[in-house]
Chain A
Amino acid sequence: MYKTNDLILRTTTSLIAFILLGFAIYLLLAGHNSPGGGFVGGLMTSGAVLLMYMSYGIEAVNKMLPINFVTLIPIGLAIAVATGAGSFLFDVPFMSQTFGYFTVPIFGEIELATAMLFDLGVYFTVVGVMITIILTIGNDQ
């Protein structure tokens, strides 16, 4: 059988997926002060992963990214709820957030907020949900 040669697609994918993943992380981290956040970052990440699935096929990507995307959903949810429930430990109202300034070697002084952890939970949940939906529909057996 004639096998299609998708060299151009695969080469550009390895470049674009890399950029997309980087941009997704940027969006995730930028959410506090500019447009972005966990939701759109997660969508962008799943877009990158989806692009890899489309050009390389499911088996190859599963080898590249040995992540069980279904378990990302409860992990993300657990992180998000735990950030809220962490307030029980400090005797402050549920869902309170706090922040502090830390000096990190390369970046200098940066502001770290616990809202970031919540966003991280959202991020994982969105990635898990999107890729689970796509794979469940796409994986026809």
Chain B
Amino acid sequence: MNNILVLPMVIPVLAGILLIFLRPYIKTQRWISLGVMIANIGISIYILNRIQSEGILRLDFGGWEPPFGILFVADSFSAILVLTTSIVTAVCLLYSFSSIGKAHENMFFYSFVNFLVAGVNGSFLTGDLFNLYVCFEIMLLASYVLIALGGKKIQLKESVKYVAINVLSSWFFLIGIAYLYGTVGTLNMAHLSERIAESGQTPILTVISILFLVVFSLKSGLLLYYWLPGSYSAPPTAVAALFGALLTKVGIYAMFRVFTLIFYHEPGITHTIIGVLAGLTLIGGSIGAIAYKDLRQIVSYNVVIAVGFILVGLAVLTPEAIEGSIYYLMHDMLVKGLLFLIAGTMITLTGMTNIDYMSGLIRNYPFLGWMFFIVMLSLTGIPPFSGFIGKVLVGQGTVDAGAYILLALAFLSSIFVLYSLLRVFLNCFWGETIISEEDEIPMKKGWLIPCVLLTLATIGLGLGAESVAIYVSDAANTLLNPNIYIDAVLHD
């Protein structure tokens, strides 16, 4: 019995409820939410290490045995993602302390961040398809509130689009679950996998798997990303950073889980489609990233490129590629958070969003400028930083699988990432300074420290890839051998 597994979801929920009562006490709210995230970091590290020694952990809610009850399952993949989520959220909370403003903090901002994290952690840890749907909804409902909170015109406009597209995709998700339940008669992921393996993946199951592919593509922005750049540029910086770092990643996680654990019998159909979609996403994201002059759009399209890149790993499905995807997923959560924070800080400091109107920021804010430079290198995949190892492994995987088109697209996209961010760097940080000494908005410590923390995290993940390697290879091993997961859940 491992009640600790449910803590990454229950602690944020309890904290969120508690913070509703503590509405007037903003300081207390801040420290409680930060404390929750730090506690989650500790818990997820503990879970991660226990998985290494004891294998996959599971918790049957209410003591009901797996096919009948719902359960939480923690393998290395989930635990790694829970850990990264907690780190990114803690940093985004630190940033929001000095940037989000009293009006937000009084309107239950921290409660909703806690609920968002509860939904994200629940999605990572659950072992039941319908429970995954519920956790998705918890996450999405909190994100609807966070995107609209503040009530500016652009936020309302974008939140209508965001809510509409997500309600539609959730409905598809529900339909898919209904079909699957009608066909196979179970919703426990391990049991589903076993039953599908017994009966063979019949055409109807492949159709259902493609329905799930559509759903998770909508959630994660795989080709169906048209809602993403607008929605992610509307909310305040700290919220946008949370969205950019977490929300699409949950869709990616669900896709990995579903297509490695449940629907892995027809890779010729499903994984080819994923490959095509990933390639198109890389192309579309690259075009978007260089097409716009709005800083927020550029940053949002970089999220799209990363989604395509990570799913290249799933499409080729070799051990190296999966490991690379997991590395890249961790890296991308950290660095996209950082990129959104830096971009938001730049917009706050200059009051503009168009990169043509910013210039010479490095003279006023040298530290910010060099951090942006590091982010750029890290996202491109330059060796000392965290993006490198993921890119190399995914590249190796594509070569092994002979997927040379995907290989070319994946690495060309790195050049587009570099170009789009270098353009921002050259336009905004270099050149004649346009902010005079007296107009200069002083850089707050509260804006700088979170960025520094994430920069250290990307350097740390890059240099310490070796020490993370055992967890990542265990995660990849579990993903590639669904029997390990099934045995841990059903037969022990």
Contacts and interface: CB of A to CB of B under 8 A. Distances in A.
Interface of A: 71, 73-74, 77-78, 81, 84-85, 87-88, 91-97
B1 interface: yes
Nearest to A94: B6
A111 to B, nearest CB: 18
A42 B63 CA distance: 28
A93 B61 contact: yes
Nearest to B71: A93
- Give chain A's interface secondary structure class: helix
A94 B20 contact: no
A84 B63 contact: no
Contacts of A91: 1
A43 to B, nearest CB: 19
Contacts of B62: 93-97
- Give chain B's interface secondary structure class: helix
Contact of B3 (A74, A78, A88, A97): A88
A93 B3 contact: yes
A87 B10 CA distance: 12
Q: Which 10 A-B pairs have the closest CB atoms?
A: A74-B20, A95-B61, A94-B6, A95-B62, A93-B63, A74-B17, A96-B62, A77-B17, A78-B17, A96-B63
A92 B17 contact: no
Contacts of A71: 20-21
B74 to A, nearest CB: 13
B105 interface: no
B1 A92 contact: yes
Contact of B10 (A74, A81, A97): A81
Contacts of B1: 91-93
Interface of B: 1, 3, 6, 10, 13-14, 17-18, 20-21, 59-63
B59 A93 contact: yes
A92 B63 contact: yes
A78 to B, nearest CB: 5
18 contacts: A71-B20, A74-B21, A77-B13, A78-B14, A78-B18, A81-B10, A81-B17, A84-B10, A85-B10, A87-B3, A91-B1, A92-B1, A93-B1, A93-B3, A93-B60, A93-B63, A95-B62, A96-B63
Contacts of B17: 74, 77-78, 81
Contacts of B20: 71, 73-74
Contacts of A93: 1, 3, 59-63
Given A71-B21, A92-B1, A97-B62, 16 more contacts: A73-B20, A74-B21, A77-B13, A81-B13, A81-B14, A81-B17, A84-B10, A85-B10, A85-B14, A93-B1, A93-B3, A94-B6, A94-B10, A94-B62, A96-B62, A96-B63
